Amino acid sequence: MSLEQRVLQLFVSGVTNGSIYALLGLGLVLVYSTTRVVNVAIGDFATLCALAAATLVTRGWGLLPAVAAGALLAAAAAALAYRVAIHPARRRGADPVTLMIITIALHLALQGTAQALWGTQPYTLPALSPGPPVHVLLAVVDRQKLWVLAVSFAIVTLLALFFNRTTAGRALRACAVNPTAARLTGIPVHRMGLAAFALGAVLAAVSGALIAPITLATYDMGLMLGLKGFVGAVIGGLVNYPLTVAGCILLGLLESFAAGFLASGYRDAVAFVVLIAVLMARALPLLRHGVMVSEEAAKE
């Protein structure tokens, strides 16, 4: 394989993985900006959907209905978790750390449930269109990877339209920008938190269904997927949708090239090295000047 070919190949798989991370990252940002909850369990909704869909497909369901059912299951689980755990804690004024610990609990419960129901063996989902890989320029690309790109792109576009063109989307944004203002225009901020949780779970579910044919689905795949989405979202500042997509795709590319040209075993560490580098880059200028200007403090 020529170097050009190899680079192109790595580029395609980097962008593919980045798109998967982007769906999770968008889900995280959606939940965080609306509710200030970092949802550690978001990847587990990807697991839930992929495994449920795999079971339904073996029972003779079509792929799309099976994935739709899986996504619905994920959304229902997310809504339930929000209602019974997150909502009461928020009502009581719990701090962000407590809320995050609740989602850690949710992660343990969901991953345990997945293991109890599906065991530790891997499951697969059929690809969206079967067939041999296709040639794109010099690269040989799996069809499913093209689907991942297409579906992710479509979802990002739909999400942008939803947030900018529909009243419900604007209402969700309003809750994120200024909850008091949102309440004063009649938006039920708490119910919007539930909607954000469910919608975030659906985004994760789609990512799970897309990646299962490529990497297979196991009960514990969610955590690492969710963490990667989180890293991408943090690179993007955790509140900005376009930057989150960019951050996640950048992360996918870095991983892919690091694994391809350096040592593949270190692949999973790349994301976090990048993450710590980003945080240090933000903090070190503060250290050099020796002064932290606490603008936020004035608003406390």
- Give the residue with the Cβ less far from another protein, 1 or 117: 117
Rounded CA separation 280/181 (Å) = 35
State which H helix or E strand residue 120 sits in. none
Shortest distance (Å) from residue 10 CB to another protein = 19
Eight-class DSSP state of 290: T
Nearest to another protein of 150, 292 (CB atom): 292
Query: Which residue bears the tokens 């343990």?
Result: 108
Minimum CB–partner distance for residue 277 and another protein (Å): 10
Quick one: 60 or 93, whose CB is closer to another protein? 93
- Residue 204 CB, shortest distance to another protein, in Å, is 18
Question: Quick one: 38 or 141, whose CB is closer to another protein?
Answer: 38
Count of CB atoms situated within 10 Å of the CB of 297: 8
- Least distance CB 22 / another protein (angstroms): 18
- Contact present, 227 and 22 (Cβ < 8 Å): no
Distance of alpha carbon 126 from its chain centroid, rounded?
A: 22
Spatial separation of the C-alpha atoms in residues 184 and 188, rounded to whole Å? 9
Give the shortest CB-143-to-another protein separation in angstroms: 31
Q: Give the C-alpha separation, 17 to 179, whole Å.
A: 34
DSSP 41: T
Cβ proximity to another protein, 205 vs 270, nearer residue: 270
Nearest residue (CB) to another protein, 213 versus 226: 226
- For residue 217, the tally of other CB atoms under 10 A from its CB is 26
Q: How far is the CB of 223 from another protein (least distance, A)?
A: 8
CB within 8 Å of 270: residues ≥ 6 apart: 251, 254, 255, 258, 259
